A and B are shown apart, each in its own frame.
Chain A
């Protein structure tokens, strides 16, 4: 019985890997095949949701902390970029590390006191955080955020003298960053660090009892997720050129939360699929107008009844033992 959990045959694995590479290549050449600006914009929006959801996945999917305020970190990053760019005329990419840092510092400040809270209580507090941020932005906090009108006239990003302005340019930037994020997060997941988060999710008392500093890991998961959301904020601000508090509402946080849960929390591919379904699919049914949200809501209810673990739940990780152990224990 136990032997049946042997790794999938390598031939099938190679096929799967090949299909994934071909699929990714086809996806990245979409702009070349004359996909219209509208659909590129939809894909760009999906891409931004996907990276945000991937960063939320570290907090929610791996560490198992119910965090429904991810739009707050996204907002801090976007506003940092907007302020540094419009007031100090910093180039967009120069603001990116600072957007990430600002979101990370904000995460330390707001998450430290609540990190020990249990699931449902944490959820309520994080909802509070995203509302506080939105209201602070509307109230023109520090006289820098421009109130409910937000900040206008954010510059386009320039990379090695190339001005990123058209949808196909942003397509490459956003999905390139998504691919990089997936690679780095994959490595993070498959490390001592990622394992520690999974122990905490499974049983935080046992994790602490086995020597995992649970408080520190929970907080650092928040910080990584926040820093990444801050980076996405930079891309978003320069793509939209205008940002306002309305873009960072509680609803945005809910959508990201749904993407992770629906797709399969803890599994990158699931989260990616979730991003396409939750923020891409409604565009396909624009013709149905208001009914599309009804269909969407019904689909969510059915999902939670019949497949609560998400569309693609995470698989148990496969380890390759170093020699000579690998030969001894197949």
Chain B
């Protein structure tokens, strides 16, 4: 079953064409890696999918909805969550509050019930705290729930971003360089974490420069260069594809 479908997406900034007619489908349950050299348009594709940018042309369908005109918060609510390439935690707030931000879109209390602290609002808060702690336990950060997010070590901040995205109860997650800046041990643990996320029936798409990591984690790869797809397939195929070797890994003399 196809959960995400991109159809001839186009996006340009001024004169620069960042994404030039990208089309591909993502099957439910896959872990798709989007790879390519720097400046190939990977993050732009992510920003188009998550609604941070609007495409100049083309359509995006997610789980039966057309989302290319949607706002980010609407797309999150449909079940598509993200992490950011440069970590964007709420640095001055606690670890717990960061994860609660993800669960926000699954809550309903409004201004009046908050102003008057009505019983259903308090019940909902308790459920939210429990859910947030579940996600912190899932990524292994439950012990530091009181700490300030900005004070955590780098690898923990990456995991906290994943916990925050999981708290939105997504069907699909896009991770922008989840292993960026991690050491070998942390990268190894991240592989395990991605495997466990996949077991929760959450489809994953990620951008990553660490080719070894991508080959081990992903079930499918999409390679883009200069805003266009040059290859698509299972990792073993991509590794042997001459076009990919030339564009991404460089030509051997």
**Chain A contact residues, CB within 8 Å of chain B:** 2, 5-6, 184-185, 187-188, 191-196, 198-199, 202-203, 205-214, 220, 224, 316-317, 319, 321-322, 325, 328-329
User: Which residues in window 147-191 of B have CB below 8 A to A?
Assistant: 147-148, 164-165, 168
The residue that B73 contacts in the complex, of A184, A192, A195, A214, with Cβ under 8 A, is A214
In the complex, which residues of chain A have a beta carbon less than 8 angstroms from the beta carbon of B147? 2, 5
In the complex, which residues of chain B have a beta carbon less than 8 angstroms from the beta carbon of A224? 111
The answer to whether A208 touches B94, judged by C-beta atoms less than 8 angstroms apart, is no
The residue that B89 contacts in the complex, of A193, A196, A205, A206, with Cβ under 8 A, is A206
The residue that A211 contacts in the complex, of B97, B105, B129, with Cβ under 8 A, is B105
Given the known inter-chain contacts A198-B93, A212-B104, please indicate yes or no for A329 contacting B142, CB distance below 8 A: yes
Bound-state Cα–Cα, A209 to B90, Å: 12
Bound-state Cα–Cα, A219 to B189, Å: 42
A192-B124, A208-B72, A319-B129 given. 12 additional CB < 8 A pairs?
A2-B147, A5-B146, A187-B117, A192-B107, A192-B114, A199-B104, A210-B105, A211-B72, A214-B73, A316-B92, A322-B129, A325-B130
Write the B88-127 contact mask toward A (1 if CB under 8 angstroms, else 0).
1111111011001110110101110011110001001110
The residue that B168 contacts in the complex, of A199, A211, A214, with Cβ under 8 A, is A211
In the complex, which residues of chain A have a beta carbon less than 8 angstroms from the beta carbon of B194? none
Tell me the smallest distance from the CB of A137 to a CB of chain B, in Å. Answer: 29
In the complex, which residues of chain A have a beta carbon less than 8 angstroms from the beta carbon of B121? 191-192
Listed stretches B10-18, B76-84, B198-206; interface member = B76-84
Tell me the smallest distance from the CB of A227 to a CB of chain B, in Å. Answer: 10
Number of A-B contacts (CB under 8 A): 125
Given the known inter-chain contacts A2-B144, A193-B111, A205-B88, please indicate yes or no for A210 contacting B117, CB distance below 8 A: no
Bound-state Cα–Cα, A97 to B84, Å: 44
Tell me the smallest distance from the CB of B136 to a CB of chain A, in Å. Answer: 8
In the complex, the chain B residue whose C-beta lies closest to that of A214 is B73
The answer to whether A325 touches B133, judged by C-beta atoms less than 8 angstroms apart, is yes
Bound-state Cα–Cα, A193 to B108, Å: 10
The answer to whether A188 touches B115, judged by C-beta atoms less than 8 angstroms apart, is yes
Bound-state Cα–Cα, A276 to B188, Å: 57
The residue that A209 contacts in the complex, of B52, B96, B124, B146, with Cβ under 8 A, is B52
The answer to whether A194 touches B114, judged by C-beta atoms less than 8 angstroms apart, is yes
In the complex, which residues of chain B have a beta carbon less than 8 angstroms from the beta carbon of A203? 88, 90
Most chain A beta-carbon contacts within 10 A, residue among B82, B102, B146: B146
Given the known inter-chain contacts A206-B88, A206-B89, please indicate yes or no for A195 contacting B52, CB distance below 8 A: no
The answer to whether B114 touches A202, judged by C-beta atoms less than 8 angstroms apart, is no
Bound-state Cα–Cα, A195 to B71, Å: 20
The answer to whether B104 touches A192, judged by C-beta atoms less than 8 angstroms apart, is yes
Interface residue B252 (Cβ < 8 Å from any Cβ of A): no
In the complex, which residues of chain A have a beta carbon less than 8 angstroms from the beta carbon of B165? 210
In the complex, which residues of chain B have a beta carbon less than 8 angstroms from the beta carbon of A322? 126, 129-130
The answer to whether A213 touches B90, judged by C-beta atoms less than 8 angstroms apart, is no
9 closest residue pairs by CB, A with B: A211-B105, A191-B114, A211-B76, A206-B88, A202-B90, A193-B114, A187-B117, A2-B147, A208-B72
The answer to whether B94 touches A317, judged by C-beta atoms less than 8 angstroms apart, is yes
In the complex, which residues of chain A have a beta carbon less than 8 angstroms from the beta carbon of B94? 316-317, 319
Bound-state Cα–Cα, A2 to B148, Å: 9
Interface residue B145 (Cβ < 8 Å from any Cβ of A): yes
Most chain B beta-carbon contacts within 10 A, residue among A210, A212, A220: A210
Given the known inter-chain contacts A192-B114, A198-B93, A321-B133, please indicate yes or no for A209 contacting B105, CB distance below 8 A: no
Tell me the smallest distance from the CB of B251 to a CB of chain A, in Å. Answer: 38
In the complex, the chain B residue whose C-beta lies closest to that of A319 is B96
Tell me the smallest distance from the CB of A265 to a CB of chain B, in Å. Answer: 13
In the complex, which residues of chain A have a beta carbon less than 8 angstroms from the beta carbon of B130? 322, 325
The residue that A210 contacts in the complex, of B76, B126, B133, B146, with Cβ under 8 A, is B76
Interface residue B50 (Cβ < 8 Å from any Cβ of A): yes
In the complex, which residues of chain A have a beta carbon less than 8 angstroms from the beta carbon of B52? 205, 209
In the complex, which residues of chain A have a beta carbon less than 8 angstroms from the beta carbon of B76? 209-211
In the complex, the chain A residue whose C-beta lies closest to that of B96 is A319
Q: Can you name 14 A-B residue pairings with CB atoms under 8 Å? A: A184-B116, A187-B116, A191-B114, A192-B107, A195-B100, A199-B90, A199-B101, A209-B84, A211-B104, A211-B105, A213-B71, A316-B92, A325-B130, A329-B145
Interface residue B246 (Cβ < 8 Å from any Cβ of A): no
In the complex, the chain A residue whose C-beta lies closest to that of B152 is A2
Interface residue B253 (Cβ < 8 Å from any Cβ of A): no
The answer to whether B82 touches A209, judged by C-beta atoms less than 8 angstroms apart, is yes
Most chain A beta-carbon contacts within 10 A, residue among B50, B72, B125, B143: B72
In the complex, which residues of chain B have a beta carbon less than 8 angstroms from the beta carbon of A212? 73, 101, 104-105
Tell me the smallest distance from the CB of B218 to a CB of chain A, in Å. Answer: 23
Tell me the smallest distance from the CB of B101 to a CB of chain A, in Å. Answer: 5
Bound-state Cα–Cα, A205 to B53, Å: 12
Most chain A beta-carbon contacts within 10 A, residue among B88, B90, B130: B90
